[in-house]
């Protein structure tokens, strides 16, 4: 957890870039929200409604599609965090951006690591998001919870990282973003020891 503590104390640097169209892809942004309670570090995950057209019932990070009023992708993530779980910008500390994630459903997602201030209340909107959970980073780092998820894309068999925790599957862009974050805070060798 030394690398995580070091990351959380760094001054955030993010260049506000223009929103550009990447060959027909739509721009989106998500937060990877970290919470610290009693010296335990955990990440906030949301559960999407089964009634949604796309990604129904999936586990995700707070976030969504860029809207023109957002001006930039960081504002997209702030807006979505407030809409989905009622957490305002003043209760969020920006830590760092992660690499953009291109999805098979036509999005390019800009993730941001953020720290949720203590005593912040989470209140799901009940329409798009139906539930939430905080999952301990130590559980996410444990190799017993990591899997490979296989699927067909353009007649090719693809495998991507996935996690099964508390009988919930975390896969797709969410798992890829999580995987990059975990590689930043702990070496692969240390993960295999657990």
Tens of pLDDT, residues 78-114: 999 999 999 999 999 999 999 999 988 889 999 999 9
pLDDT of residue 10: 73
Would the pLDDT of 11 be above 80? no
User: Which segment of 10-19, 35-44, 71-80, 139-148 scores lowest on mean pLDDT?
Assistant: 10-19
**Rounded-to-integer distance, Cα 23 and Cα 29, Å:** 18
Q: Are 112 and 30 contacting, i.e. CB atoms less than 8 angstroms apart? A: yes
Secondary structure class of 181 (helix, strand, coil): helix
Contacts of 24 (CB under 8 A, 6+ apart): 106
pTM assigned to the model: 0.88
pLDDT of residue 2: 77
What is the average per-residue pLDDT within 172-194?
80
pLDDT of residue 62: 98
Of the candidates 38, 128, 40, 36, which has an alpha carbon nearest to the alpha carbon of residue 81? Answer: 128
Q: Which residue has the tokens 């068999």?
A: 157
In the chain, the percentage of residues whose pLDDT exceeds 90 is 57
**Range picked from 10-14, 28-32, 35-39, 157-161 for highest mean pLDDT:** 28-32
Show the domains of the chain with their CATH numbers.
Answer: 2-7+25-192 (3.90.79.10)
Tens of pLDDT, residues 23-52: 778 999 999 999 998 888 999 999 999 887
């Amino acid at each position: 957890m030394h690398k995580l503590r070091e990351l959380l104390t760094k001054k955030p640097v993010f260049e506000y870039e223009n929103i550009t169209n990447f060959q027909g892809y739509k721009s989106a942004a998500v937060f990877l929200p970290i919470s610290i309670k009693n010296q335990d570090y955990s990440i906030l995950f949301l559960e999407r409604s089964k009634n949604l057209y796309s990604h129904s019932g999936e586990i995700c990070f707070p976030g969504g599609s860029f809207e023109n009023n957002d001006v930039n992708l960081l504002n997209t993530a702030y807006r979505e965090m407030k809409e989905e779980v009622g957490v305002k910008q003043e209760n969020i500390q920006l830590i760092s951006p992660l690499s953009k994630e291109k999805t098979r459903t036509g999005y390019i997602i800009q993730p941001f690591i953020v720290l949720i201030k203590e005593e912040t209340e989470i209140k799901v909107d009940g329409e798009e998001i139906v539930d939430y959970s905080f999952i301990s980073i130590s559980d996410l780092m444990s190799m017993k919870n990591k899997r490979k998820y296989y699927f067909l894309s353009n007649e090719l068999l693809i495998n991507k990282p996935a996690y099964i925790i508390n009988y919930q599957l975390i896969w797709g862009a969410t798992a890829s973003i999580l995987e990059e974050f975990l590689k930043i805070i702990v070496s692969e060798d240390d993960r295999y020891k657990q």
